[in-house]
């Protein structure tokens, strides 16, 4: 068994082969087949790993198309059309967003949250103000979010600056939550390390007892944020990965509409 070292990483080599000798496809089970161009003579080294090989896991996108002439001048109005189509299609969690934030050092993190409101001011979501996302937003108030609706072969990317909503807005939304979710907002020290599941359930039970027979008010460390968009991108999947991408950029208080290459 040969060994190959590159940038301090040592891997086990199965066999050195030439490009002309490689078969068109590989069936590797749980073995990840990787290739290194080792020399000018096109030698390729195949080495083993422990991850799965999913190179054939794909599908074509052929439902619809998207042209600049199809979209409205205002991206909020265009988003409203697409979001309502996702809702009317009865997709699961059409308001789910992948929200990406980062530290002041640029270290990113992402998670799925639920959009609870949108209008011409922006996209709103609610969370614990002591969570990791909240700590990130204190360091860097800019964020990105993605809506992905695979059944419609669509996604929407949105970028902008995030700020807290008013306490009155947070209070109004909090009162629409189910009682168990209200208790959960009090009980969960979000993003903190906890010893076990029982610890969390006991906190929930303790707060249920504390609030029994009373109105559950919003915790002071819990509330809403709103992302004010400076960029929208509407993505429609197309055949052969030649996807349609229409971008809106806010330039001098006006929306510039451009097509992007896929």
Number of domains in the chain: 3
| pTM greater than 0.85 | no
Strand partners, 223: 127
Give 24's DSSP letter.
S
Angle between helix 197-210 and helix 179-187 axes, rounded to 10 deg: 120
Closest CA to 167 of 236, 215, 219: 219
The pLDDT tens digits of the residues spanning 192-245 come to 999 999 999 999 999 999 999 999 999 999 999 999 999 999 999 999 999 999
Kindly tell me if the per-residue pLDDT of 95 is higher than 90: yes
Q: Are 27 and 126 within one domain?
A: no
For residue range 213-227, what is the model confidence (pLDDT) as tens digits?
999 999 999 999 999
pLDDT at 58: 86
The alpha carbon of residue 107 and the mean position of all alpha carbons in its chain are separated, in whole angstroms, by 15
| Residue 171 in domain | no
User: pLDDT digit string (tens) for 244-257?
Assistant: 999 999 999 999 99
- Choosing from 18, 107, 241, 259, which is the catalytic residue? 241
55 has pLDDT over 90: no
Q: What are the start-end ranges of the E strands in the chain? A: 2-6, 9-18, 34-37, 43-47, 96-102, 108-114, 117-119, 122-128, 142-149, 154-164, 222-236, 244-251, 254-260
Average pLDDT over residues 103-132: 97
In a domain, 43, yes or no: yes
Residues facing residue 38 across a β-bridge: none
Does residue 228 sit in the same domain as residue 183? no
Q: Which residues pair with 145 in a beta bridge?
A: 99, 158
Statement to judge: residues 116 and 237 lie in one domain: yes
Asked if 204 and 231 sit in the same domain, the reply is no
Percentage of the chain beyond pLDDT 70 is 81
Counting Cα atoms < 13 Å in the Cβ hemisphere of 189 gives 10
Same domain, 30 and 131: no
The answer to whether 241 is a known catalytic residue is yes
- Say yes or no to pLDDT of 117 above 70: yes
pLDDT at 9 over 50: no
Q: What is the pLDDT of residues 119-135, one digit of tens each?
A: 999 999 999 999 999 99
Domain of residue 14, residue span: 2-47
CB atoms under 10 Å from CB of 187, counted, come to 20
How far is it, in rounded angstroms, from Cα 205 to Cα 199? Answer: 10
pLDDT of residue 228: 98
SS3 104: coil
Per residue in 26-37, pLDDT (tens digit) is 333 333 333 334
What pLDDT does residue 107 have?
97
Task: Determine, yes or no, domain membership for 52.
Answer: no
- Same structural domain, 158 and 252: yes
């Amino acid at each position: 068994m040969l060994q190959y070292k590159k940038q301090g990483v040592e891997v086990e080599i199965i066999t050195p082969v030439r490009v002309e000798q490689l078969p068109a496809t590989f069936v590797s089970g749980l073995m990840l087949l990787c290739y290194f161009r080792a020399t000018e003579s096109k030698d390729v080294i195949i080495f083993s790993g422990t991850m799965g090989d999913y190179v054939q896991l794909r599908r074509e996108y052929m439902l619809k198309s998207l042209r600049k002439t199809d979209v409205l001048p205002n991206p909020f109005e265009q988003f409203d059309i697409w979001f309502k189509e996702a809702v009317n299609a009865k997709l699961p969690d059409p308001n789910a967003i992948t929200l990406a934030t980062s530290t002041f050092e640029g270290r990113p993190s992402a998670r799925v949250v639920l959009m609870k409101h949108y209008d011409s001011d922006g996209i709103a979501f609610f969370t614990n103000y002591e969570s990791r996302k909240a700590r990130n937003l204190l360091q860097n108030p800019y964020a990105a979010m993605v809506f992905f609706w695979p059944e419609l072969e669509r996604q929407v990317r949105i970028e902008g600056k995030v700020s807290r909503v008013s306490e009155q807005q947070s209070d109004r939304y909090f009162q629409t939550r189910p009682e168990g979710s209200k208790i959960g907002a009090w009980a969960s020290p979000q993003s903190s390390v906890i010893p076990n599941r029982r610890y969390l359930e006991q906190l929930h039970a303790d707060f249920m007892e504390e609030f029994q027979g009373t109105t559950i008010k919003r915790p002071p460390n819990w509330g809403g944020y709103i992302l004010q968009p400076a960029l929208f991108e509407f993505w429609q999947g197309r055949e052969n990965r030649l996807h349609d991408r229409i971008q809106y950029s806010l330039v001098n208080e006006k929306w510039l509409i451009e097509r992007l290459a896929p």
